[in-house]
Chain A
């Protein structure tokens, strides 16, 4: 794990910055100055810390998170794959390379649940999702899988960190 403060831990100011930056950047001419003033930092110090967060990967991305259903990506399926243990990393990376795959995780198998690789695919329709998955299957040679289409989104929110 990577930390920012001199002590080797996320310092209190880092946590405060996270708290502020999850609230939404103000829509004013100098948004970083507004946030910096609240935190008792200079505008430059705040921008500098944000850059460090990005460099360390603690901020994966700075900008807009979109609600993709409104943009026409209406169907999504969680596709779970039963991949031989020694191939998981290779297959996981191969699937991750596909643009249509938005998430790709390795997770543990469970009794009655043989699947250890989880991907999420987004498409304009169910049929498109099926075609994407067939393509993934052909490309990786993995043919033991299950598609779990989402029927309803019950919650989607951004995590509130350090609150």
Chain B
């Protein structure tokens, strides 16, 4: 679904993606930057959250630097089992992303856990609960880029 955004929305989103003011009254500061009132900023952000453009407002964390361990898992799932397998996989809170992709390995999901041991345990439980037979576990060995900011 495309949401209609006006110029002020776009400018606001551009500002708060990276440069959210770390000051006691951030919405007032944003209002001053945009030439609108604090109330209008709060109203606009509220609307953008409500209609789903903003997924979350707050800290976007680096899981590795918080001590978490993660892996990308690539599973082979028969077409007729995709629904039930997705449901089982997604029921784990450590699974944050799950995509169906065009490949023999067609279900790709990420898992995060507090330790390497917990990660292995969770992946084992996922395989068992979802009935996955064929799966590659691909931990990141090097991260060259994670970009979470989009130009609007």
* Chains A and B come from one and the same complex: yes
Q: A29-B25, A156-B97 are in contact. Are A62 and B58 (CB under 8 A)?
A: yes
Most chain B Cβ neighbours within 10 Å, of A10, A23, A65: A65
Q: Across the interface, do B24 and A47 meet the contact criterion of CB distance under 8 Å?
A: yes
List A contacts of B62 (CB < 8 A).
57-60
Is the C-beta of B35 less than 8 angstroms from some C-beta in chain A?
A: no
- Complex A-B: 9 CB contacts under 8 Å: A22-B59, A31-B26, A68-B150, A71-B5, A102-B146, A146-B103, A148-B108, A150-B99, A156-B55
Whether B90 contacts A155 by the Cβ 8 Å rule is: yes
CB interface residues, A 52-67, toward B, < 8 Å: 53-54, 56-67
Chain A interface secondary structure, helix, strand, loop or mixed? mixed
CB <8 Å contact, A155 and B107: no
Count of interface residues, chain A, beta-carbon cutoff 8 Å: 76
Determine the distance from Cα of A163 to Cα of B114 in the docked complex, in whole angstroms.
10
Q: With A66-B54, A148-B101, A150-B100 given, is the CB distance from A107 to B141 under 8 Å?
A: yes
Interface contact B90-A101, CB-CB below 8 Å: no
Q: Which of A10, A47, A64, A146 contacts B56 (CB 8 A)?
A: A64
Q: A30-B25, A65-B56 are contacts. A58–B66 as well, Cβ < 8 Å?
A: yes
B34 within 8 A of A: no
Pairwise interchain contact B147-A106, C-beta atoms closer than 8 A: no
Q: Cβ of A67 and Cβ of B58 under 8 Å apart? A: no
- Cα A55 to Cα B134 with chains together (Å): 41
